[in-house]
Amino acid sequence: MTHDFTGKISFVSSGTPEANAAASALRGIYGDVEFDDASVIVALGGDGLMLQTLHRVMRSNVPVYGMNFGSVGFMMNPFSQVDLTSRLAAAQTTQIYPLSMQAVDCSGKSHAALALNEVSLFRSTYQAAKIQIIVDGESRLDELVCDGILLSTPAGSTAYNLSAHGPILPIEAPLLAMTPISPFRPRRWRGAILGNHASVKFVAREADKRPISAVADNVEFQNVIEVTVHEDRTHGVTLLFDPGTSLEERVLIEQFRY
C-alpha cells in the first residue's frame, strides 16, 4: 500500500538545536503546513516527542512518521533528508490503541486520561502502597504491598513494563500486561496477562496514611483512592515505519535480546 502525502506534511521538533536545524532544512525542501491541516506528521526527536505527538493526533488519527534525534528512538526511523516523500509513500503502518484511565482522588474528584504506553500507580511516601486488584468486578488480589503497579498496552510493554520485569507483548496481540513494581507481599507474585476487553480497578488501601499517585503516560494525579482502566478502541493512532522495520518487527527483535 502506498500513501500520497505530497504538500501535506507538518514537521515537529523536540527543540534540540540538532532537531530544529533538521526540521528547518526539511521544511525548505518539502514545505510545511500547520499541524491541524496536515495529512502526516513528521516528528524529529526521540520516543518522548513521539509519545507527545501521538497524543496530539489521538482524535484525528493523522499518521506520524518519526525520525530519530533522541537517545533511544525505539519508535523512530533513521534520519535522512533524501527522498522523504518516497519513504512516506512506502511506509508500513501500525495502529495502536490507548488505555482509558478514570481516577478518583481522596476529595472525591474524578479525573480522566488516555495512555498509549501504560497506566501506573506509585507510592507517594516512604511507606509501601497497599492496593486491591479487581478484574471485571471480581477481586483477584485483595492486597498487594508494593512500590506500585502498572497496566501496559502491547506498544508500552517494551518500555517501563519491561524495566519492571513485565512480559513483552506482540503489538497486535489482544492483551494487556499487569506488572507489579517492587512487590513485597505476595513476594512471589509477578503479575498477570489479561485480555484487552478486561476492566481493571485498583483500590488504594489505607490511602490516608499510604498515599498513591496515578500516571497515564505523562499525566499524573495525586492522592487517588480508586483507578479504573480499560482499553479504548474509540481512539487510536497510526505510526509509520520504513519497510522491514515495523513496530511489530522491533518488538519481536526485542524478545530475543540477551
Phi, psi of 46, rounded to the nearest 5 degrees = -115, -165
Residues 213 and 247 in one domain: no
In the chain the first and final C-alpha atoms are separated, in Å, by: 35
141 appears as a binding residue in the annotation = no
pLDDT tens figures, 125-135: 999 999 999 99
249 pLDDT tier (thresholds 50, 70, 90): confident
C-alpha–C-alpha distance, residues 240 and 246, integer Å: 8
pLDDT band at 5 (very low <50, low <70, confident <90, very high): low
> What share of the chain has pLDDT > 90, as a percent?
86
Percent over 70 (pLDDT), the chain: 97
Q: Choose between 7 and 37: higher pLDDT.
A: 37
Let me know whether 170 and 208 are in one domain: yes
Same domain? For 226 and 242 the reply is no
pLDDT at position 72, please? 74
Overall pTM surpassing 0.95 (yes/no): no
- Residue 98's Cβ-side half-sphere holds a number of Cα atoms within 13 Å equal to 24
pLDDT, position 256: 86
Which range marks the domain in which residue 77 is found? 9-96+236-254
Q: Which long-range contacts (C-beta less than 8 Å, at least 24 apart) are formed by 167-170?
A: 167/191, 167/193, 168/251, 168/254, 168/255, 169/193, 169/251, 170/248, 170/251, 170/252
Q: Any binding-site annotation on 179?
A: no
Query: Active-site residue 4, yes or no?
Result: no
pLDDT tens digits along 193-248 = 999 999 999 999 999 999 999 999 989 999 999 999 999 999 999 999 999 888 88
| SS3 category, 205 | strand
Q: What is the pLDDT of residue 3?
A: 66
- Residue 1 within a domain: no
106 and 92 both lie in a single domain = no
Does the annotation flag 217 for ligand binding? no
190 pLDDT above the threshold of 70: yes
d(CA 103, CA 226): 6
CA distances from 78 to 23, 43, 44, 74 (A): 14, 12, 10, 10
| The pLDDT of residue 1 is above 60 | no
pLDDT band at 4 (very low <50, low <70, confident <90, very high): low
pLDDT exceeds cutoff 90 at 25: yes
The sign of the dihedral angle between the CA atoms of 83, 84, 85, 90 is positive
**Are 103 and 92 part of one and the same domain?**
no
Asked if residue 163 and residue 103 are part of one domain, the reply reads yes
Q: Which of 32, 36, 37, 47 is catalytic?
A: 47
Q: Is residue 4 part of a domain?
A: no
Tell whether 20 is covered by a domain: yes
User: Is 161 annotated to bind ligand?
Assistant: yes
Annotated ligand binding at 80? The verdict is: no
Residue 3 within any structural domain of the chain: no
In this structure, the answer to whether residues 145 and 157 fall within a common structural domain is yes
In a domain, 196, yes or no: yes
Domain co-membership, 173 together with 245? no
**2 in a domain, yes or no?**
no
C-alpha cell at 17: 538545536
Contact between 44 and 69 under an 8 Å Cβ cutoff? The reply is yes
47 labelled ligand-binding: yes
CB atoms within 10 A of CB 65: 23
Q: Can you read off the three cell numbers belonging to residue 159?
A: 518500555
* Res 247: pLDDT: 84
State yes or no: 216 annotated in a binding site: no
pLDDT band at 7 (very low <50, low <70, confident <90, very high): low
CATH number at residue 247: 3.40.50.10330
DSSP H helices, 36-97, are 47-56, 84-90
Q: What is the mean pLDDT of residues 101-122?
A: 97
**pLDDT at site 158:** 92
Q: Are residues 46 and 58 in the same domain?
A: yes
Q: Examine residue 52 and state whether it is found in any structural domain, yes or no.
A: yes
Q: Which of 36-45, 90-99, 243-252 has the lowest mean pLDDT?
A: 243-252
pLDDT of residue 232: 96
Q: How far apart are CA 91 and CA 219, in angstroms?
A: 30
Residues 156 and 69 in one domain: no
Is position 242 annotated in a ligand binding site? no
Asked if residue 14 is part of any domain, the answer here is yes
Residues 204 and 250 in one domain: no
pLDDT tier at 143, thresholds 50, 70, 90: very high
Shared-domain flag, residues 77 and 188: no
Please check if 25 is assigned to a binding site: no
Number of domains in the chain: 2
Q: What is the CATH number of the domain that holds 137?
A: 2.60.200.30
